[in-house]
């Protein structure tokens, strides 16, 4: 594997770019591993990377039913922020943001993390009060967040419509300057490259059909499309399919899987310097480095495993986008798709141990798992390696749905994560 540097770029540029080698090998599964991770998205690959890098556990396989990064890692709108209301969430997402800032250097792979700022629009009095509360709460937790007047918001994002007679008037906005976007595929590729360089196996096109438990109840391994793979520990990080996989181990989770849709426009010259989110009308937009406007909507109303979603929701989202950014009304949309997101009743993740010895779970990220990728992967690796949660993910237990100690971001953050 080539190490990327100015020198290696230059050398390959003058020699016809024929010297580049494979970035990660596709592995055939061995019969036995210390740790098997189900799901080769950013979270699963990252956990494998940190297991090898920080805990010296390299006999690890990441097993993926499709292709690497082909699930929600490749389907999100790449927004990264940490302005969550509650202490538990703020710590978790800010931990991720700390790791995002050094990730390209750490992985020697450009994940194109861009701190372009995320602007959250307030359209009504409730939004104003709620976002100002967020700003204060964030500052107490050391998370940067600032309140902007409509004119300041327009100065930050010039294509914003702040006309008082607008369908969705802008009464102000919360701006997290440290937030931004990253290249989603590169995150999966970078972690895969770093993990395999340390001895981790990545097995693609190999569905995990069941988790096998021994007579003592502990995990023995996973049944896959390519036979049984023995493992001392199994960590499931399978997004919308987590509840299906976990049910085979007898663990029922408080999850429901919904389609979450996104779409991109034709590429145009730079017109949007930041990310804008409008939680009240479920419309999210930023511009990719290719020039496409990347637009996200809310989840469809019904549970589904079809990575498709319904057109009425797209129409609703685009109607809102056209009102907020009148300049884009005649843009053509190129592609739309959906990812299947696993939503918990309190809209916070479940990350930690399960009642089954040796079985760990990382799920329930709902509509906002991408931003957490490095942080979730980091604390998941810690939890698996030490068989106890990291202080950051300790509150995100499965037991909270029995004790009632919920982390109720659903009500606090309106809807979007």
Partner 1 sequence: MLLIHCPYCGETLPELEFAYAGEAHVVRPDPSTASDEQWRDFLFIRSNAKGPHAERWRHIHGCGRFFNAVRDTVSDRFLATYPAGTPRPDLSLSEDER
Q: Which positions lie near partner 1, rule CB under 8 A? A: 241, 243-244, 252-257, 301-306, 308, 310-312, 345, 401-403
In angstroms, give the least distance from the CB of 211 to partner 1: 16
In angstroms, give the least distance from the CB of 344 to partner 1: 8
Residues 6+ apart with CB under 8 A from 211: 219, 221, 222, 223, 234, 236, 245, 246, 248, 249, 356, 359
Closest to partner 1 by CB, 83 vs 367, is: 367
Q: Residue 221 — left, alpha, or beta (φ > 0 → left; ψ -120 to 50 → alpha)?
A: left
Closest to partner 1 by CB, 294 vs 314, is: 314
In angstroms, give the least distance from the CB of 417 to partner 1: 18
In angstroms, give the least distance from the CB of 250 to partner 1: 13
Q: Residue 280 is encoded by which pair of tokens?
A: 């009240």
Question: Residue 154: which of 164, 167, 143 has the closest Cα?
Answer: 164
Q: Rounded to whole angstroms, how far apart are CA atoms 150 and 169?
A: 9
Closest to partner 1 by CB, 201 vs 256, is: 256
Residue 237 near residue 43, CB atoms below 8 Å: yes
In angstroms, give the least distance from the CB of 308 to partner 1: 8
Closest to partner 1 by CB, 350 vs 379, is: 350
Residue 116 near residue 99, CB atoms below 8 Å: no
Closest to partner 1 by CB, 67 vs 305, is: 305
Q: Rounded to whole angstroms, how far apart are CA atoms 78 and 118?
A: 12
In angstroms, give the least distance from the CB of 399 to partner 1: 9
DSSP character for 292? P
Question: Residue 75: which of 259, 331, 345 has the closest Cα?
Answer: 259
In angstroms, give the least distance from the CB of 311 to partner 1: 6
Q: Rounded to whole angstroms, how far apart are CA atoms 294 and 287?
A: 6
Residue 37 near residue 62, CB atoms below 8 Å: yes
The phi and psi torsions of 359 (rounded to 5 degrees) equal -115, 125
Say what angle helices 373-386 and 87-107 make with each other, to 10 degrees. Answer: 100
Closest to partner 1 by CB, 127 vs 256, is: 256
In angstroms, give the least distance from the CB of 349 to partner 1: 14
Measured from the Cβ of residue 144, the count of other Cβ atoms closer than 10 Å reads: 16
In the Cβ-directed half-sphere of 291, how many Cα atoms lie within 13 Å?
Answer: 7
Q: Residue 174 — left, alpha, or beta (φ > 0 → left; ψ -120 to 50 → alpha)?
A: beta
Closest to partner 1 by CB, 67 vs 302, is: 302
In angstroms, give the least distance from the CB of 368 to partner 1: 19
């Amino acid at each position: 594997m080539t190490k990327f540097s100015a020198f290696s770029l230059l050398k390959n540029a003058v020699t016809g770019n024929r010297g580049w080698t494979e970035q990660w090998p596709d592995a055939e599964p061995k019969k036995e591993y210390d740790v098997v991770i189900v799901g080769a998205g950013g979270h699963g690959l990252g956990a494998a990377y940190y297991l090898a890098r920080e805990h010296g556990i390299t006999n690890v396989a990441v097993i993926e039913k499709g292709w690497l990064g082909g699930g929600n890692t490749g389907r999100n709108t790449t927004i990264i922020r940490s302005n969550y209301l509650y202490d538990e969430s703020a710590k978790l997402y800010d931990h991720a943001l700390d790791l995002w800032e050094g990730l390209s250097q750490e992985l020697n792979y450009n994940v194109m993390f861009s701190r372009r700022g995320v602007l959250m629009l307030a359209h009504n009095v409730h939004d104003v009060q709620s976002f100002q509360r967020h700003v204060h709460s964030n500052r107490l937790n050391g998370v940067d967040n600032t309140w902007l007047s409509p004119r300041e918001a327009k100065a930050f994002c010039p294509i914003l419509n702040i006309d008082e007679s607008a369908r969705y008037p802008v009464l102000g906005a919360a701006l997290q300057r440290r937030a931004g976007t990253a290249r989603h595929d590169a995150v999966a590729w970078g972690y895969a490259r770093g993990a395999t360089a340390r001895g981790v196996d990545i097995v693609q096109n190999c569905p995990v059909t069941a988790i096998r438990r021994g007579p003592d109840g502990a995990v023995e391994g996973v049944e896959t499309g390519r036979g049984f793979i023995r493992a001392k520990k199994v960590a499931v990080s399978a997004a919308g399919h987590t509840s299906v996989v976990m049910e085979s181990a007898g663990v029922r989770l408080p999850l429901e899987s919904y389609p979450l849709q996104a779409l991109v426009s034709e590429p145009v010259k730079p017109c949007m310097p930041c990310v804008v989110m409008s939680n009240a009308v479920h419309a999210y937009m930023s511009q990719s480095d290719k020039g496409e406007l990347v637009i996200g909507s809310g989840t469809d109303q019904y549970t589904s495993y079809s990575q498709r979603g319904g057109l009425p929701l797209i129409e609703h989202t685009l109607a809102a986008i056209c009102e907020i950014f009148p300049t884009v009304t005649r843009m053509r949309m190129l592609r739309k798709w959906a990812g299947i997101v696993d939503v918990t009743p309190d809209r916070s993740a479940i990350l930690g141990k399960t009642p089954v010895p040796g079985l760990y779970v990382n799920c329930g990220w709902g509509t906002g798992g991408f931003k957490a990728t490095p942080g979730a992967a980091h604390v998941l690796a810690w939890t698996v390696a030490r068989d106890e949660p990291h202080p950051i993910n300790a509150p995100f237990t499965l037991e909270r749905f029995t004790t009632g100690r919920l982390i109720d971001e659903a009500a606090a953050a309106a809807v979007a994560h």
